Amino acid sequence: MANIKIEIKNLDKLTAAFKKSPKLIKDEMEKAMGNISWYVVTQTKEHIRMGTDMWKAPLDTGAMMRGISPTKISPFESIITPSDSTPYAIYVHEGTRHMKDRPFFEVTAKRSKEGIEERANQVLNNVAERLCRL
């Protein structure tokens, strides 16, 4: 499956801020990861629903689309997976010898980069503002 990596610039400043007020940073980062995770989920579902110019939408009943959600959210990591009730999602994404791949997570990773970065920057700005007020 696809991985979406977010590079945090000025990590040294964030680390220093974390030492000053770890609970504040942890809470804000966890909130950010939740926000980003749900943004990615929404975008992924949209790409499943709409398909792309390369493949038709892999949607029959909508179960696969409804089953995609964050399964783990922490301050520095989020894992988004299809539900256990749709084990075929991996075959839709990766393809089989009988079916062409329809990489909806890859499409989301490529098309949502700016939105993800925008949300991450917003949170980091919020954290910086709150730290300045301490």
Where along the chain do its domains lie? 22-133
pLDDT at position 104: 81
DSSP string, 75-107: TTEEEEE--TT-TTHHHHHH--SSS----HHHH
- Per-residue pLDDT of the chain in tens (134 residues, 90 and over written 9): 566 666 667 777 767 766 777 788 788 888 888 988 999 999 888 878 777 666 666 566 678 888 888 888 988 888 888 888 888 888 888 889 998 888 888 888 888 888 888 888 887 788 777 777 76
Is the pTM higher than 0.75? no
Rounded Cα–Cα distance for residues 94 and 118 (Å): 29
Q: What confidence score (pLDDT) does residue 77 get?
A: 83
Q: CA 132, CA 125: separation in Å to the nearest integer? A: 11
